[in-house]
């Protein structure tokens, strides 16, 4: 039974990674037409596409934790914000391509930056969900001077 569950999770991650790659392709295609030197290179396009695949795959199947005192689960907030931002940017990119619009380079730069920001939020959500709170414990192993006097 565990094998089937792991197989379905793997298929889900592969499917979401492909969706992220497709969305990244649209963003890369719309941004690549701009007259922005850095974003016109093949490496920039590849980075945008691969980041989409990694972000969508990392954000799939996350286990949301308990709410904090504020009532907000940080993993849920990061994942939802990142997924929404990347989806809106991908939809905007498709609209730019379909309509054949030629937006200013500033708008396309903002689109690319928002896409990368959304992907970073998705990857951050995955990191927080998988590794949790990794801060060192507050309790110190050092002995206070008053405890030394009491022990003697």
Specify whether the CB–CB gap between 116 and 55 falls below 8 A. Answer: no
pLDDT value for 149: 61
Single pTM value for the model: 0.74
What is the rounded CA–CA span in Å between residue 5 and residue 7? 5
151 confidence band (pLDDT: 50, 70, 90): low
In percent, how much of the chain has pLDDT > 90? 26
Looking at the 3D structure of the chain, how many domains does it have? 1
Q: Mean pLDDT across the chain, nearest whole number?
A: 82
Specify whether the CB–CB gap between 20 and 54 falls below 8 A. Answer: yes
Helix then strand then coil, in percent of the chain rounded to 5, is 75, 0, 25
pLDDT value for 41: 81
57-90 pLDDT tens trace: 888 877 666 556 667 778 888 888 999 999 999 9
- What domain range includes position 43? 2-151
pLDDT value for 70: 66
Q: What is the mean pLDDT of residues 106-132?
A: 88
């Amino acid at each position: 039974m565990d094998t089937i569950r792991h197989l379905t999770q793997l298929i889900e991650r592969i499917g979401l990674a492909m969706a992220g790659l497709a969305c990244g392709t649209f963003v890369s295609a719309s941004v690549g037409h701009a007259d922005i030197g850095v974003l016109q290179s093949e490496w920039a396009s590849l980075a945008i596409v691969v980041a989409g695949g990694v972000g969508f795959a990392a954000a799939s199947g996350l286990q949301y934790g308990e709410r904090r005192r504020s009532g907000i689960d940080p993993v849920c907030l990061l994942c939802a914000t990142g997924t929404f931002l990347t989806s809106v940017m991908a939809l905007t990119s498709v609209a730019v391509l379909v309509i054949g619009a030629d937006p200013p380079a500033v708008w396309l730069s903002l689109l690319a930056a928002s896409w990368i920001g959304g992907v970073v939020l998705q990857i951050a959500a995955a990191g927080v969900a998988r590794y949790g709170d990794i801060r060192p414990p507050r309790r110190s192993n050092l002995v206070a001077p008053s405890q030394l006097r009491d022990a003697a």
